[in-house]
A and B are shown apart, each in its own frame.
Chain A
């Protein structure tokens, strides 16, 4: 796991530029760094040594010297691929997975990606064809950004490396901000930075000498047609196959030349992964958790129960008063995009704990909610359809209370209000975004704070419409649950969960996260299962519970999904107030940024200070505005200061 960067095209002082770009992402690979340059090409690499500790240095060239790779991530099936390549007469100089990709590319060209089981982003320069290939893993675990400037293409694992390129300036893309304030994340290839793009998950880009570029998808997440006969009808058989696939996915992800630990949230998913991994850890499994001072967020009782049941060596880091505010500016420097929740901040602290304890790799339960239908939004959508079939029912809307037991504001509402809040009966059943419409509408209410100038720039732009335009033709033929799962797995997972809460928070401390639930074989298997095996009535992840009930304590195996949350606006007001928050939300900085209405923000700040446990809209707006202001300071402000100093 590492970070890399590079350019393709004529660039002056290329080596010095690569040194600067690589230094900007040194946190991703603190163990080694390297640079490769040839005419019209440059690659830089910061290495976190996990596989092939002594001989996996990068950028790595093949024996002929015509192919060179810079690679971030892991190829989990590299041992099997290496054996297959050896059987074809290929000889290896190193024990690394990096060299396996090089040989595979030499054999198959760009189609090599189809054989890779892993989390990866890489660049291969092919000197024979004078072309560059960029590729990214199927689910979007590892990031890859690029920008075209002055006739050359520049690319990197994080945007901050691209900002080292002379003439590339950080400027906020207003449409990206609109998407964040509607969908929680920009839709790739768009990023928060105007004119800087992200290679989409499951995509590869071929750039020819001279700049001609083709980008294509090499894999897609797909579901069976709603009316097609189900591939699995026997639940026990499906559960057995799930268990076998998940065990294998975990075994592959325990491969490393360093110890592998596991996050333990206290919920079902990370408990399953830890339980499967524990017998595979030769020196005993180490587990890591965040605890919270506030009882509504804390899950330490379940974490301790699971750690004791597995006999792991368990470490915790607490997130108490002031902790989120203390790290939030750093968190935004790593997310490189505004966010609406503070949830990444505790994960930033958690990866710091893992690093402090001397580990570099952790397994996590991320992905299970997308793959096996764990999120409340799936149940909510089902209840909304149920209510929509009999509008005006006074009984049916009571089911909404079952979905959000942790939201007191909802529990106290009448059936009529519940039906109204969830738009039950108001959203057409054939709306492709039916499942997500209440969330999109509720989130978009945060745009109330946009300044008049920003609203003018955004006139005619509809973030939800752009999302709908990106759906595949087959989407309309899928079951409603699968449509909702696709929206989560294809957009929010790579755009927010794996990015702002995943790669960025882990790599801020040089920690590699691995996600057994996102093994693409397992993802394809889960997609093929009938909806009722995943969401049975209103019981989420039913088949996963069935497949793993013998390895979990009963209380954990039966636990209802508790969404991972952290205190939002209350982290920044009252006794948690910080000077930088006052400044960022103050009139002067808001006017300088030009994005938000200072008068409205001032009222919001006052309201959140008086009532810090307010509703979703106010909390999301507060965190969104603060993080946007910090983003401006971190990227545009820093650049301005650098140019001023020069």
Chain B
């Protein structure tokens, strides 16, 4: 489950922030900010993608680097969110 989420997040990041450029070899644990992949507007684009794609609501308090600053963190965050939603 997490792997397929990560794959689709990675595809979104590469398409939307790297414009198809795979030469950066972005690792799953790499910081999106420190690697210049994402800026302040990009974070909001990422949040919109997560909400649209996974049908979850991302609260303001959730928009922190601990949840969203690497592919691993994003995938884990989405997995937890969707699990909470399914349990509700």
Contact = CB atoms under 8 A, between A and B. Distances in A.
Contacts of B63: 412-414, 417
B19 A448 contact: yes
Contacts of A604: 19
Interface string B14-43: 011011110100000001011010011111
A409 B45 CA distance: 10
B66 interface: yes
Given A416-B65, A448-B21, A409 B41 contact: yes
Contacts of B15: 603
B80 interface: no
B39 A603 contact: no
Nearest to B36: A445
B52 interface: no
Nearest to A597: B21
B72 interface: no
Interface string A600-620: 110110010001001111100
Given A414-B60, A441-B36, A420 B69 contact: yes
A416 B41 CA distance: 15
Interface in B64-83: 64-66, 69
A599 interface: yes
Interface residues of B, number: 25
B44 interface: yes
A35 B85 CA distance: 81
Contacts of B18: 448
A92 interface: no
Contacts of B34: 420, 426
Contact of A599 (B20, B42, B64): B20
Contact of A417 (B16, B20, B36, B43): B43
Contacts of B33: 420-421
Interface SS, A side: helix
A618 B45 CA distance: 12
Contacts of A441: 36
A48 interface: no
A600 B15 CA distance: 9
A221 interface: no
Contacts, number: 71
A442 B39 CA distance: 8
Which of B21, B34, B40, B61 is packed against the most chain A CB atoms within 10 Å?
B40
Contact of A420 (B19, B23, B65): B65
A190 B39 CA distance: 30
A464 interface: no
Contacts of A615: 39-42
A449 B40 contact: no
A444 interface: yes
Nearest to B31: A420
Contact of A603 (B20, B60, B64): B20
A608 to B, nearest CB: 11
Nearest to A621: B19
A256 interface: no
Contacts of B44: 409, 412
A11 interface: no
Contact of B65 (A417, A449, A618): A417
A417 to B, nearest CB: 6
A539 interface: no
Contacts of B42: 615, 617
A245 B65 CA distance: 49
B33 to A, nearest CB: 5
A449 B20 CA distance: 10
A611 B41 CA distance: 11
B20 A416 contact: no
A348 to B, nearest CB: 28
A188 interface: no
A607 B39 contact: no
B73 to A, nearest CB: 12
Contact of A413 (B21, B40, B45, B66): B40
A410 interface: yes
Interface string A602-646: 011001000100111110000000000000000000000000000
Interface string B48-68: 000000000000110111100
Contacts of A618: 41
A215 to B, nearest CB: 37
B19 A614 contact: no
A616 B41 contact: yes
A607 B16 contact: yes
19 contacts: A412-B44, A413-B40, A413-B63, A414-B61, A414-B63, A420-B65, A442-B36, A442-B39, A445-B39, A448-B18, A452-B23, A597-B19, A599-B20, A600-B20, A603-B19, A615-B39, A615-B41, A616-B41, A617-B39
Interface of B: 15-16, 18-21, 23, 31, 33-34, 36, 39-45, 60-61, 63-66, 69
Interface of A: 407, 409-410, 412-414, 416-417, 420-421, 426, 441-442, 444-445, 448-449, 452, 597, 599-601, 603-604, 607, 611, 614-618
Given A409-B41, A442-B36, A448-B18, 5 more contacts: A409-B43, A414-B60, A441-B36, A445-B36, A615-B40
